[in-house]
Structure 1
Amino acid sequence: MQTTLSSDLANQIRRQCGENVFLCYQCQKCSSGCPVAEYFDLAPNQLMRAIQLGQKDMALKSKTLWLCAIC
């Protein structure tokens, strides 16, 4: 299976929300301190990585995106 990488999703998020997802450098502090992480299918840092790599389907299908309380 071939995966195509794209920054389109990250750029769309930046345009609409002003957030630069490329500032995430995978320290995993968000994942290790998350009080609801046990309910996620992807850890928060994994979701950020999927967005950085342009894996739109994976990101949008993830429960993490919709359950995050943005503590």
Structure 2
Amino acid sequence: MPDRGHERVYSDKEIIRKLKDDLPDWELENGCIRRVYKTYNWKGTLMVVNTIGHLSEVAWHHPDMLVS
């Protein structure tokens, strides 16, 4: 895959291998990487979502999240 400045574009095969090796709880689905977190109650869910939101803001990364 071509380089885009300092960014590298990975093929789906490379992404799947890297996830398997380094982040086994994550998966590639429809061009996106995803992970499911299970919490015990609504309060715990909100704590997880707020933590992800804070860390994402600090990293200037804004992931799509589905909360149910």
Q: As a proportion of its length, which structure holds more helix?
A: 1
Where on the TM-score scale, by shorter chain, does this alignment land: which range? under 0.3
Larger Rg: 2
TM-score (norm 1): 0.25
Q: As a proportion of its length, which structure holds more strand?
A: 2
Greater RCO (CA < 8 Å, at least 6 residues apart): 1
